[in-house]
Amino acid sequence: MPDRRFKTLERLIQQANRTSSGKPASAQMLAAMIRLITDDGVDPYLVLGVLVEGAVHTLAKHIPPERQPETIEELKQLLNERLKAHGLQ
């Protein structure tokens, strides 16, 4: 993510990568599973709901309260940017 607006998310991703460095590439495994599941014909609305719930759970339970407002704003911006990049907005 070259855009500097997402500094908090970048730091969180780096922290997650450091934390999971001794484990199988958890983030890559999750991304691969999402691709497999969606390519296999699962209800895409269900997948989106699960992903949103996962993001909210992660924010509520694993992001320190003092960092939540900034992280939430950056997550919203990131979603808008990705939607635009795929011509969906």
The count of domains in the chain is: 1
Average pLDDT for runs of 10 along the chain of length 89:
62 69 73 88 91 95 95 93 92
What is residue 10's predicted lDDT score, i.e. its pLDDT? 72
> Which pLDDT belongs to residue 23?
62
pLDDT at 41: 86
Domain that holds residue 29: 4-85
Q: Pick left, alpha or beta for residue 87 (phi over 0 → left; psi -120 to 50 → alpha; otherwise beta).
A: left
Of the candidates 7, 15, 18, which has an alpha carbon nearest to the alpha carbon of residue 58? Answer: 15
Residue 57: the pLDDT is: 96
Residue partners of 61: CB distance under 8 A and separation at least 6: none
pLDDT of residue 1: 45
User: Amino acid identity, residue 77?
Assistant: Q
Global pTM value: 0.66
SS3 20: coil
**Which tokens is 29 given?**
């495994």
